[in-house]
């Protein structure tokens, strides 16, 4: 079965039909830059453009970088504030004519990694962290997701963790890998203290450069890079919409 997965990020909206049997994209993905400002109506138009590109009229799974409770957007750390209170599935249905399921971007990436990637078969407490514009988190206990965790916003040295240790901050502050890894380590140590995880999975674009910074980390917990890379969100979004089919 194929479902259209769409990953809404701070800089791009990417989509592709996903084969749910093997978790692979059925065709090349299609990407459109995220409208700036990222107002709900403008982003919904882009979602509809992606659906049209694939001639899609079935279920759609969609990620969004925020807390999402029963479809309603509850936070807006890295997107336009107008999103707060928006019923995202209803808005996207209006624009695409398709039934849409919407979930947090890190939760989606985590779901895909647990099924088809680095977390396959891993029991206990697994924490997936996506390091990008912000820091997203997804927590799994024996393979079951605890949705909407927001560990990128725990406070480290008086700041949101994502304002010290996201990949955006690494680039903006031109931090060396070592200096950035030190900040990341502080954050991961805090996560270890709070949750006693069995495994960290590190996702986001920077995870493909893991050999540049994993060597500086000093943790008790096993840490591995994500495997699905920038496809994880699309795949996880499609998986989440399976029951709409």
Question: Which residues are at the interface with ligand BGC (CB under 6 A)?
Answer: 65-67, 75, 77-78, 104-106, 130, 132, 134, 136, 150, 152, 162
Nearer Cβ to ligand BGC (225/236): 236
Nearer Cβ to ligand BGC (16/138): 138
Nearer Cβ to ligand BGC (24/157): 157
Q: How far apart (Å, rounded) are the C-alpha atoms in residues 206 and 168? A: 10
Q: How far is the CB of 108 from ligand BGC (least distance, A)?
A: 9
Q: How far is the CB of 45 from ligand BGC (least distance, A)?
A: 21
Q: For residue 158, what are the contacts with CB-CB under 8 A and spacing of at least 6?
A: none
Nearer Cβ to ligand BGC (17/110): 110
- Dihedral sign, Cα of residue 174, residue 176, residue 181, residue 183: negative
β-pairing, 60-64 with 100-104?
A: parallel
Q: How far is the CB of 97 from ligand BGC (least distance, A)?
A: 27
Q: How far is the CB of 155 from ligand BGC (least distance, A)?
A: 14
Q: Output the CA angle 57-93-231, nearest 5 degrees.
A: 70
Nearer Cβ to ligand BGC (2/231): 231
- Dihedral sign, Cα of residue 172, residue 113, residue 217, residue 67: positive
Q: Hey, which bits of 48-141 come out as E strands? A: 60-64, 68-69, 72-73, 100-104, 125-131, 135-141
Alpha-carbon Rg for the chain in angstroms: 17
Q: How far is the CB of 136 from ligand BGC (least distance, A)?
A: 3
CB 130 within 8 A of CB 164: no
């Amino acid at each position: 079965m194929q479902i259209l997965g769409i990953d809404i990020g701070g800089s791009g909206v990417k989509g592709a039909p996903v084969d749910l049997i093997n978790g692979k994209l059925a065709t090349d993905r299609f990407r459109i830059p995220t409208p700036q400002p990222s107002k709900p109506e403008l982003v919904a138009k882009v979602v509809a453009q992606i659906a049209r590109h694939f001639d899609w009229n079935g279920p759609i799974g969609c990620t969004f970088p925020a807390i999402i409770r029963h479809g309603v957007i509850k936070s807006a750390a890295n997107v336009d504030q107008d999103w707060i209170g928006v019923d995202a599935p209803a808005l996207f249905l209006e624009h695409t004519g398709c039934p849409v399921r919407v979930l947090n971007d890190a939760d989606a990436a985590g779901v895909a990694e647990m099924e088809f990637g680095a977390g396959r078969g891993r029991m206990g407490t697994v924490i997936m962290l996506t390091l990008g514009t912000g820091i997203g988190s997804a927590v799994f206990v024996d393979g079951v997701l605890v949705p909407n965790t927001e560990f990128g916003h725990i406070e480290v040295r008086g700041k949101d963790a994502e304002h010290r240790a996201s990949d955006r901050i690494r680039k903006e502050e031109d931090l060396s890998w070592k200096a950035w890894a030190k900040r990341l380590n502080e954050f991961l140590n805090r996560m270890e203290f709070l949750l006693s995880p069995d495994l960290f999975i590190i996702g986001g674009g920077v995870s493909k450069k893991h050999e540049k910074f994993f060597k500086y980390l000093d943790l008790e917990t096993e840490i591995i890079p994500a495997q699905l890379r920038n496809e994880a969100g699309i795949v996880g979004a499609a998986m989440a919409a399976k029951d709409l089919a």
